[in-house]
Chains A and B, each alone.
Chain A
Amino acid sequence: MKAFINWPIFTQTSIDSGSLTMLGSVLHNFSEPGIYMGTILQNNEAVSTFQLIVDKDSPATQVDIDLASLHQGKIKHSCSDDSKRFEVNPKGYAVFYVSRGSGGYSVVVGRLDENEKARLFFDSRELKEGDIFTATIIRPGLYTVTNIKTKSSGKIVVTYPKRGKVPFRPPRPKSIECNKDSLDPNKIEIHATQGQIYKIKTPSRIKIELIEPDDGSKVEKERIKKKERQTRKQKNKTSK
């Protein structure tokens, strides 16, 4: 089968909780049962809508809402269409993510209250306490992470991948708390593809940006040197 590559995975080096790409996703718990209307924005322009039913009888503890599929015409533009209707338990999470493309999405979700007045429940451009933002960095290098709302910041070092004797599997994701005054911890070292879970404790918009790429030249040189040393040792042993 011919396979097409998801280019943006390799070309995007900044991740923004308010402008989601394939490398970031946002989770929100809709604790009040009801019927919600969601709007997907791309560069602050509405591009699609969906319906979210929060029902305490629903068995779903998680509902995955693919913003790219909803936007890119894979799903018909009709609210009666089942593919644009999602359901989740009030104790569960709605997971907003991007499966393909260049992304740049944000989501607003609201519903009519008892007085038929529209009320905004969630805006991914400003995450609230209890929300979760996840990020996956692919490109090795040094990154800054900033909470735009609180101006707190931190550093992320993404180490260069090493080819080992066993297939590389990223360790468990690192958790970072987004507090009023800081990101805790404010410096982390992770492997490429290892996840980060930002637990939101205060109004936040998290932005991660590459400041110094690591192209692995040092690693490569060390590897070559090590190999040469081993070869020399083996040759010496053989000649003795």
Chain B
Amino acid sequence: MSHISVAASETAFKELFALLRDNLTFSKSDSADLGPFSASYSVAMHLEDGTVDLQNGNQIEVKELDIKWDTLEAGIGFDIPEICVGGWCIVPTPWGCAVRLPKICVFSADPDIGINLDLSGIVTSEISVTAKPVVQYKVDPARTPGMSDLDAEFAGVPNKWQVYIDPVTVDIDIFDISDIVGDLLENAVKNAIDNLLWFLPSWAIDLIWAILGPVIDLIRAILDLPDDIAEWFANLLGVSLGLFNVIITVVSDHFAKKYPIYEFEDPYPILPASGGLIPVKIPIKNLTVQVNDVEMVLQADVGV
């Protein structure tokens, strides 16, 4: 039988989890060349809300953690089609065109444009985690081999017992993107092309737009967009650019390795130093952790 048994109620566990959750912040940028176009993202996020449920069988279920996007910008770069005149047949024959006029193009090459969309206000994302509690013993890397426990405490590098929640499954329901993204994309491309042509007179801009056709059709053709643009964006960010996996890794690492839900020093301080006396500390051994549907229970032995 263990010498010490400490329990945290589910309510207390939720408080501990809230601190752990609020500690997570993350930002990253990345880009990829996806053939006919290039794409990039720049994200910064934190977590909010969510429900925590302790379950029998040593399982913790965290549901509907909201990913709050402090920044979520998606960038797309592509070439608009070259705009040419001429190229028509001058001498047609029953077997085809015998003489064709060379094409003269408005630009020297396919002009490239880049757009940036701020999606932070129109994307809602959730993450759910099933985890089990695990115990780890941490020896601070800054602690030198010759240090006693007292030296380590005075130096601020004591050994610690740490309790982490180790995700078993991470389920991400990311990028429920509002349909408004289609309008955002259309406006961004229109503005980008207008900016590209800013130096031309209005009749020339009208002519080029007439040749290019409706913006949305142009975008669909270049990017090979399906009907559901929001879904395409979700897939682009989540799968093509790998943001799904990045977030899963970040959340898993945060819970399982970076921030313990609870930790305490070993040896554990019973009485602080006072009156010229050194602190009283007891060594903790064989720490274990279990959860059931009402509490988290820590058990340990005392002794060297």
Contact = CB atoms under 8 A, between A and B. Distances in A.
Contact of A9 (B106, B213, B214, B218): B106
A25 interface: yes
Contact of A95 (B101, B108, B203): B101
B304 interface: no
A197 B99 CA distance: 12
B121 interface: no
B91 to A, nearest CB: 7
B258 interface: no
A30 interface: no
Nearest to B81: A167
A178 to B, nearest CB: 15
B149 to A, nearest CB: 65
B201 interface: yes
Given A161-B207, A167-B213, A195-B88, A93 B106 contact: no
A162 B211 CA distance: 9
Contacts of A97: 101-102, 104
A129 to B, nearest CB: 16
Interface in B100-145: 100-102, 104-112
Nearest to A6: B106
B212 interface: yes
B278 interface: no
Contact of B100 (A62, A170, A172, A192): A62
Contacts of A183: none
Mostly, the A contact residues are: loop
A97 B100 CA distance: 12
Contact of A10 (B86, B200, B212, B218): B200
A213 B302 CA distance: 97
Given A4-B107, A5-B199, 12 more contacts: A6-B105, A9-B85, A25-B101, A95-B102, A99-B102, A161-B206, A163-B214, A166-B213, A166-B217, A167-B212, A195-B86, A214-B203
24 contacts: A1-B110, A2-B112, A3-B110, A10-B200, A10-B201, A22-B104, A25-B102, A27-B90, A62-B99, A66-B102, A92-B99, A95-B99, A134-B90, A136-B85, A161-B203, A161-B209, A161-B210, A166-B217, A167-B210, A167-B213, A170-B88, A193-B211, A214-B203, A215-B203
Interface of A: 1-6, 9-10, 22-23, 25, 27, 61-62, 64, 66, 92-93, 95, 97, 99, 132, 134, 136, 138-140, 160-170, 172-173, 192-193, 195, 197, 213-216
Interface of B: 79, 85-86, 88, 90-91, 98-102, 104-112, 199-204, 206-207, 209-214, 217-218
